[in-house]
Amino acid sequence: MSAPSAIAPAAAQRPVYARMALLGLGLIGSSMAWAARRGGLVGEIAGHARSAATRERARELGFCDRVCDSPAEAVAGADLVVLCVPVGAIEAVMAEIAPHLAPGATLSDVGSVKAELIAAVRPHLPEGVHFVPGHPLAGTEHSGPDAGFAELFEKRFCILTPGDEVPEDAIARLAALWEGMGSHVERMTPEHHDLVLAVTSHVPHAIAYTMVGVADDLARVSDSEVIRYSAAGFRDFTRIAASDPTMWRDVFLNNREAVLDILGRFSEELMMVRRAIRTGDGDWLHAYFTRTRAIRRGILEAGQDTDAPDFGRLGRPGPKR
């Protein structure tokens, strides 16, 4: 596995792309539209969503120049097509749009899993279309077209995992778009990406879902008590566990090897903590918690959160458009 390497995009042209097609108009798709419009990064934005209700809501919100009733109409003439649908839907969408992709266009995505997604896309990829898989490490527990806001990607990382056959100028152009939307852009192999994300995102979500499930199963604790006495730890678990169930089902099924690997490592660590608690080994617990506390300091130093004492995230601004 190779370590990540920073990408230095070419100087951003305004616009970077003449026409961007977004397939999927939920949190990420709508946020990309708002961010691109704010920066003047794209000449025209076309969008499509499977649900007629979502398409109608997107038209009302106005973050796309055109909301199309079919994927084929949305991608026609686009020099950038971004798949913003759940990982499990990627192959079906690719089969539908492949005949309509313009030669020389760049195809990308925003999926949290890369190796399986790439395997699903490649059989349908037309000659002359440049596939640059991507993953913006940004999000909230909210979903749908109303959840998007232009600042979502600011100071967050976007990871690109292109193959060796992709021209460097196509990669740099996509990197320039993400930089223009506020992201730090880096490059990894798909396999390395999937292992890193299993640690930083996928397994933490699995643990959050499980912990909330444990609380739900405790018959001796009523629902009202769980809600009333939620301290910061459990409250944050419920925030994570409120994420889109379709997306996370697909993430776990499509990154199963890395997730199972990290879950196994987590189980071993948990057994050591359990043993220390059972035997009253306070020195071991203190040393362990001191060592792991340094991870939090590293996150702050990387600019991925602040140390403001905003328990419950009170006072943070809502979505901006």
Q: Report residue 248's pLDDT band, with 50, 70 and 90 as the boundaries.
A: confident
Q: Report residue 314's pLDDT band, with 50, 70 and 90 as the boundaries.
A: very low
Q: Which domains does the chain show, CATH number per domain?
A: 10-188 (3.40.50.720), 193-305 (1.10.3660.10)
Task: Name 63's Cβ contacts closer than 8 Å, sequence gap at least 6.
Answer: 30, 33, 34, 37, 45, 47, 145, 148, 321
pLDDT of residue 308: 57
**pLDDT higher than 80, residue 276:** yes
pTM of the model: 0.81
**pLDDT higher than 50, residue 28:** yes
pLDDT of residue 243: 78
Distance CA 299, CA 302 (A): 5
Using CA atoms of 104, 110, 112, 114 in order, give the dihedral in degrees to the nearest 10. Answer: 0
- Provide φ and ψ at 318, rounded to 5°: -80, -175
User: What are the start-end ranges of the E strands in the chain?
Assistant: 5-6, 17-23, 42-48, 66-67, 80-83, 106-109, 130-131, 134-136, 157-160, 184-187
**pLDDT higher than 50, residue 2:** no
